[in-house]
Amino acid sequence: MSMSTYLINNQDSLDDMGLEQGPVVISRWVTFTVANETYAVNVLDVQEVLRAADITPIPGAHPAVRGIINLRGNVVTILDARVFFALPEKPFDDDSRIMVAELRSGEIAGIVVDSVAEVIVLDEAVVNAAKRSGGDEGSAHILGVVPQTEKGNDRLIILVDLKGLSELGEK
């Protein structure tokens, strides 16, 4: 995590975030949606975000495997977030994106999401608290849940461990 944290001393930016004074460690997360639910992954885990590409299906592969794509000459496996979160399949549309990440195994893989929204900044303390509370039940790739307030609406953001998706193979 040391690579993904920033030490903020600038008073203004802290005020902007409505956080307490003093040095605060923050991290940046990319939010994406799958079936109207907002998820976030650490920005440093994401290698790139692709528009829907030409995915070649693999007959006989795990249901979560959408297929493979040609990413600048490399063959990259594409997984479907909907299958991961046990949601019904949905065909590609204009909002669909592939988030490419390096898995813990070192393999590069992509995951299809309904849309990619924005980059948010989270206080590392909040993230850690979420990690402690969540993740005990359910899938290993969900780190925890953090509350966010946006345009007056409260919402929950599910933090996802993209690197942990490599555990798929053992399922």
Partner 1 sequence: MAFEPTNELLQDFLIEAGELIDALDSQLVGLEQAPNDKDLLNAIFRAFHTIKGGAGFLEVTPLVEVCHRAEDIFNLLRTGELTVTPAIMDVMLRVLDALNSMFASLRQGVLPPSVGAPFLHEIEVLAHAHKTAQAPKKTNLAEQPTPGAPLPQVAMGAAPLAETTPSATVPSEMPVMKPASIDAQFDALLQALEAAEEAQSAPAPKPSTSSDLITDEEFEALLDRLHGKGQFQGAGRGALAHSSDAAPITTHGEPPPARDESAEAGHDLITDDEFERVLDSLYGKGQGPTSAIKPAAPAEKIATVPNAVAPISSKPVVPTPAPEAAKVETTVRVDTERLDFIMNLVGELVLVRNRMNTLKLSFNNEEVTQVIATLDRVTSDLQGAVMKTRMQPVKKVFGRFPRVVRDTARLLGKEVELVLVGEETDLDKNLVEALADPLVHLVRNSVDHGIELPAVRLAQGKPAQGTVTLSAAQEGDHIRLSISDDGAGMNAELLRRKSVEKGLLTEEAAARLTEQECFELILLPGFSTKDEISDISGRGVGMDVVKTAITRLSGLISIDSSPGVGTTINIKVPLTLAILPTLMVVVSERKYAIALGIVSEIFEMADKEINIVDGQATITVRDRALPLYRLNHWLALPGEPMTGRGASDLVVMVQVGAQLIALVVDSVIGQEEVVIKPLGELLHNVGGFAGATITGDGHIALILDLPGLMRRNIQPRFKAKLKVVA
Residues that bind partner 1 (CB under 8 A): 54, 56-63, 65, 68-70, 73-77, 79, 103, 105, 107-109, 166, 168-169
Q: Is 144 helix (H, G, I), strand (E, B) or coil?
A: strand
The residue (of 75 and 140) whose beta carbon lies closer to partner 1 is: 75
Give 48 or 95: the residue with its C-beta nearer to partner 1. Answer: 48
CA dist list (Å): 116 to 11, 30, 31, 41, 96: 30, 8, 6, 11, 8
> Nearest approach, Cβ of 146 to partner 1 (angstroms)?
28
Nearest to partner 1 of 18, 59 (CB atom): 59
Minimum distance between the CB of residue 84 and partner 1, rounded to whole angstroms?
A: 12
138: left (phi over 0), alpha (psi -120 to 50) or beta: left
| Rg over CA atoms, the chain | 17
Minimum gap (Å) between residue 11 Cβ and partner 1 = 46
